[in-house]
Amino acid sequence: MGSIVAGSMALLCVLASAAAGKGQPSAARSVHLHYEAPEAELFYNEVTVEESQQGTYFCACGFSMGYFGIQELGRGRGKVVIFSVWEPGAQNDPSSVAEDKRVQLLSKGDGVRAGRFGGEGTGGQSFLDYQWKVGETCRFLVKASRQGERTAYAAYFYLNNQRRWQHIATFSTLAGGALLKGYYSFIEDFRRDGVSATEPRRARFGNGWVRTADGQWHALTRARFTGDSTPTLNVDAGISDGGFYLATGGDVRNTVPLGSVIARQPIAVGLPLE
């Protein structure tokens, strides 16, 4: 009888442990900054990664039809610059999109790989191998130009080791003639193996600007802090060295409530392309 009770208790412990495990997040919470700025033809931003882990995306220039940033891939695959542009619609199968509705690759830079993607919407994406470093300030620029019902989005990344701008890719998509709008940055843990949720990630986003069609530059000085639906509170955002920061995962402590609008003072520096 005693052995039956002991066995039952052991089974209950195993089941309880498994149930507890199911409640643990598999990934660190994705966190975002949503910037306040008018529709524009140029979007410039910088990111300085302060702490990274394998399987992390640091997006500097997100907008309504795409995003642009750097990733640490892990498993010996190194680091990349990534630029993606979406097609309209809620589909996830890239083969389901008619040819005339697809994102078109107009051009790409030397050494850039480009193709189609699915699973999180559909569209075109491009990659450049670049071994960015923690503490390195990376610079990004997106240019939009109208082409009837389509808009061409061109991405440029500054190669610090060569002191020059590198064209990543230019994609055209059906955007109703809209330029750049809906600006954001984020940190995402896409490894999602459970362990990654226990690892901290942190980056600064600064010196952000947009240039409107009339040639006026507008600094990004206000941003709303948001997160995805992952039910964890080890996330944070705020002001650091005159710019914004985001942090998530591991031992990160929250000091700014989600949904808060964070404001920074404009910095008296030259415009990004001067």
Q: What percent of the chain has pLDDT over 90?
A: 86
Checking if the pLDDT of 117 tops 90, the result is yes
Domain assignment of residue 136, yes or no: yes
**Total structural domains within the chain:** 1
Domain assignment of residue 89, yes or no: yes
Q: What is the widest separation between alpha-carbon atoms in the chain?
A: 85
Say how many Å lie between the first and final Cα of the chain, rounded. 83
For the stretch 178-208, pLDDT in tens is: 999 999 999 999 999 999 999 999 999 999 9
Domain assignment of residue 114, yes or no: yes
Q: What is the pLDDT of residue 6?
A: 38
Domain assignment of residue 17, yes or no: no
Domain assignment of residue 195, yes or no: yes
What is the distance between the alpha carbons of residues 233 and 168, in angstroms, rounded to a whole number? 36
Q: What is the pLDDT of residue 12?
A: 34
Domain assignment of residue 1, yes or no: no
Q: Which SS3 state, helix, strand or coil, does residue 196 take?
A: helix
Q: What is the pLDDT of residue 15?
A: 33
Domain assignment of residue 24, yes or no: no
Q: How confident is the model at residue 75 (pLDDT cuts 50, 70, 90)?
A: confident
**In terms of residue numbers, what domain contains 99?**
31-263
Checking if the pLDDT of 17 tops 80, the result is no
Q: Region 259-274: what's the mean pLDDT? A: 78
Domain assignment of residue 25, yes or no: no
Q: What is the pLDDT of residue 10?
A: 40
Q: Region 86-93: what's the mean pLDDT? A: 96
Q: What is the pLDDT of residue 76?
A: 80
CATH of the domain at 99: 2.60.120
Checking if the pLDDT of 9 tops 50, the result is no
